[in-house]
Amino acid sequence: MRQYVVDAFTNEVFSGNQAAVCVMDSWPSERLMMSIARENNFSETAFVVHEEGAPAERWHLRWFTPGAEIDLCGHATLATAYVLLRFVAPDAERVEFDTLGGRLVVAREGDRLAMDFPAYALVPVEVTDAMEKAIGVRPIAAFMGRDLLCVLGSAAAVREAQVDQEKVAQLDGLLLHITARGEKDGPYDCVSRSFAPKLAVAEDPVCGSGHCHIVPFWAHELGRSDLVAYQASARGGELWCRMRGDRVTLAGQAALFSVADLYV
């Protein structure tokens, strides 16, 4: 089995978000995919197969964290598209993926790859003491989609937050995202960080599916559809985002770290 390791939402290795991408002729067992994901110990390992009878550009894609299979993942989708468009179909302009999150399309956009993703509907929820204890600072607002989105008062608060992983795991929502408006006169409209202890991922370095929550909030709050977002993890990552009705376009770059054969 050929495996690629790609850093997504960056143009250089050792930043962005690592994803392993396994390109296969047929599906292995879920037990083996789960074991590979745990062995890699990245926030996600992607498995992709071109199934018999499918159009040339369409693939079936699944994502596994070290803790479970997940229904939507942005950075591993970007990494998979990067691998396919570089090594498998270098003349193609786009690829399509059938996933648990629906049909996803990734297309070349200059030196970036642009992903068409669903936007999560956000429901306002009460800010609680439990949120404050988990994050270390009290949010000014909170919303629920698939994940919990907590809005903080400043970008510095997001960057400096020292979250309590055990307390985060007790909050509602699959993941926790904390976000704030970008610094005044800075290059980013918003900054964020993402935490997923329920999936055995302490902090996701750059979370694409998280921005399916973050972008709808900030597009509404700032009154515009185009945003540049920064994930303020230790590795860091940049996303060029566009809100389109109930869909979000997330664009970014990727850098290849390694190619290997798995003896499994």
Q: Which residues are catalytic?
A: 44
Residues 188 and 176: beta-carbon distance below 8 Å: no
Q: Among residues 6, 8, 4, which one has the least CA distance to residue 208?
A: 8
Cα dihedral 142→122→176→197 (10° resolution): 140
Cα–Cα distance between 19 and 234 in angstroms, integer? 16
Cα–Cα distance between 21 and 79 in angstroms, integer? 7
Cα–Cα distance between 167 and 177 in angstroms, integer? 14
Pure H helices in the chain: 30-40, 74-83, 129-135, 155-160, 165-168, 208-222
DSSP assigned state of 67: S
Q: How buried is residue 235: exposed, middle or buried, by Cβ count under 10 Å (0-12/13-18/19+)?
A: middle
Residues 6+ apart with CB under 8 A from 16: 7, 8, 9, 10, 75, 205, 206, 235, 236, 237, 252, 254, 255
Largest CA distance in the chain: 53
Cα–Cα distance between 117 and 207 in angstroms, integer? 13
